[in-house]
Structures are given as structure tokens and as C-alpha cells.
Amino acid sequence: MKAYPKVIDRILEVIREHKTFCIVGHVRPDGDCIGSQLALALALRNEGKKVTVWNQDSIPQKYKFLNDEGLFHKPKHGEKFDCVIATDCASIERLGKVGECINDRKFFINIDHHVSNPRYADVNWVSPREPSCGELIYRLMKVARWPITKSIADLLFTAISTDTGSFQYPSTRSGTFHAGAELVTRGADLAKIGNEVYQSYPLSRAKLLKHVYSKFRLAADDQIAWFWLKKIDFHRTGAETDDTEGLIDHIRAIEPVVVACVFEEVEPELTRISLRSKNTKVNVSAICSEFGGGGHPAAAGARVAGKPITVQRKVIAAIKRALKAAK
């Protein structure tokens, strides 16, 4: 086996020495977050550990097939754990309300792949070169020599696939394909994963997509594409916030576009922004850091307070500056 980070030894040492664990993830969890959490939870349970899995928000409909063993529970105050492990969570704030419920612990471990991660735990394994957190959990299991069951293979393949755009994003490495291949060998059900994650979505999402195509705007010689999602849009389409995942990719795919942006109304004067970049010289994580957010160079986000039109102007201006600097 190739060399691995020594922090893995420390993580495995903590795991061996303790019994009760809580696996936590970020608000509005995506496939990588959910797959990583559940895969680690199953692996620890197979090692005889007592495991709880918490998220602030519920699992999106298309990922519910992953939770067939019902491991996710609503977080609550007063629970004690030997160890809390955060997966795919770029900052402590991204835990949301879960962060308030995990204070009674002995150890806190942070396993993540976001370049903006400030290393907020007692033990931090942050590897931005990995395209997904799922690949980190896979590597952890390989070093630990824990069995990769069919259920775990499904979870890790989903995690890796969704965060690499089905192995299409530039962050995908040769090792990512090797991991995917082994997971298929271990029983990952590609037909089921493909159907649930990529080939099936509710009518409400189709209506939301219709809104996107009719309302998106272009700026900076068509290098910037953006659209708004207001609460009224969700009301009109019957869509949930879960239905927004991947919508940004539809405008990102437009040929002249370099940076795509979604403005989503959280409250009247609080906007969630999501940015995607197709140019390695335009780091959207750096752009989002100007607004208190972060993420990856090619995909990042933030929550910005202020009047919507003011937020829009500031964010578009920041993107224009980044585009200009990239030339």
C-alpha cells in the first residue's frame, strides 16, 4: 500500500480506544456528506462501536435509499459521546444546530477535503487534493483493514460519484477511478445508484428547472451566468430546497460561461450564494471567502446578509474582479 498520512494512525488510535461515536455532517447534506457519514457509521458499527448519525437537515429524497438501515436521527441536547467525527464539513458553522448538541465529548475528529477548512477539531485530516470526502473514508478503511461490505460500497461509490460529477470534474484523479473500481468489485450497485441519484427526480424539480431556464441572466460578456431562487419560486413549483441540488450545473454548462452563480433567498435579508467555476485561474472559494464563506476552488458558497439587490451587486462585482485578474 502506498504511503498514507500519519494522521490516519491517530484517528484509528482514537477509534480503537473509545466506544461511543457521533458522526455529523453539514447543513443541507449532499451525496458526499451522506455517503461518507453512513459508510463510516457502518464501518464503526461493524467494529463493535455504538454509533449515532446526526444532521441538522433531513436527507434529500434522492439519497433516502442510502439510509435503508435508519441510522440518521434527529440531534438532541444532553447526549454524551466519547468521540464526535465530522465528515465533509468545511467549518464548525456548517454543522448548523448540530454544533450545539455535540459539546459533551472527549474527542472531536474532522475529516474533510475543503481547502477553506480551518482545522477546527482536536484531530484534523483535511486533504484538499481529494475530490471527495468519500475517498478519504475509503482510504481510512483500507488502512484500518476494515471490511468493505456491499452496503458500504454503495455508500462510498455514491459519495465519490456525486462529488466528482460522475468522475467528470477536473479534481478527479487516477486514484479516484481505482477507488470506484474496487467499490464496484465489492458490490456497489451501479444500476440502482444511477437510477436513484441521476435518473429520477420529482415533477417539482422539473418545474424549478423551467424557472431556471426562463429566468437566468448573463453578465461580463456572457462569462457570468446567474439566477435567483426566491421563496415564492418554491411555493409556485411545489419544490423543496432539496430540489435545488445540481441546478447550477445547467447554467455552468453554457459554453461562454466561466462562473455560474445561484442566489437563494433564505430570509428577506439573508441570501445563500453558490458559485461554480470552469477556469482554474478563477478561484470561487476565494471569492466566497470575501463574504464569510468558502469551499473548493471550483465550487464554493456563502451566506450573505443584506438587501438582495445589494448582495447581487457585490457578488457579481467580486466575480468580475476575479475574471479580470485571471486574464
Specify if 1 maps to a domain: no
The verdict on 15 and 72 lying in the same domain is yes
The verdict on 145 and 208 lying in the same domain is no
pLDDT score recorded for residue 47: 97
The verdict on 240 and 135 lying in the same domain is no
The verdict on 20 and 108 lying in the same domain is yes
Choosing from 163, 198, 233, the residue where a domain stops is 198
Choosing from 171, 198, 225, the residue where a domain stops is 198
Q: Which of 157, 147, 139 is nearest to 35 (CA)?
A: 157
Choosing from 180, 198, 216, the residue where a domain stops is 198
Q: Which of 292, 308, 204 is nearest to 247 (CA)?
A: 204
Q: Reduced to 3 states, what is the DSSP secondary structure of residue 24?
A: strand
The verdict on 120 and 228 lying in the same domain is no
The verdict on 192 and 54 lying in the same domain is yes
235-252: per-residue pLDDT in tens?
999 999 889 988 999 999
12-23: per-residue pLDDT in tens?
999 999 999 999
The verdict on 106 and 54 lying in the same domain is yes
The verdict on 188 and 119 lying in the same domain is yes
Residue whose entry in the numeric block shows the C-alpha cell 433516502:
64
Residue 281 has pLDDT above 70, yes or no: yes
What's the CATH code of the domain at 302? Answer: 3.10.310.30
CA separation for the pair 67, 18 (Å, rounded)? 25
- Please report which helix (H) or strand (E) contains residue 179, including its range: helix 174-185
pLDDT score recorded for residue 4: 77
196-235: per-residue pLDDT in tens?
999 998 999 999 999 999 999 999 999 999 999 999 999 9
pLDDT score recorded for residue 293: 92
Parallel/antiparallel/unpaired status of strands 72-73 and 50-54: parallel
The verdict on 99 and 220 lying in the same domain is no
- Mean of all residue pLDDT scores within the chain: 95
pLDDT score recorded for residue 327: 85
pLDDT score recorded for residue 170: 85
Residue 126 has pLDDT above 90, yes or no: yes
Q: Tell me the residue range of the domain where 100 lies.
A: 7-198
The verdict on 180 and 242 lying in the same domain is no
What's the CATH code of the domain at 125? Answer: 3.90.1640.10
The verdict on 183 and 267 lying in the same domain is no
Domain total for the chain? 2
Specify if 2 maps to a domain: no
* Angle, alpha carbons 132-205-95 (nearest 5°): 40
Res. 2 pLDDT band, cuts 50 70 90: low
The verdict on 184 and 233 lying in the same domain is no
Res. 69 pLDDT band, cuts 50 70 90: confident
Specify if 237 maps to a domain: yes
**Average of pLDDT values for 104-120?**
96
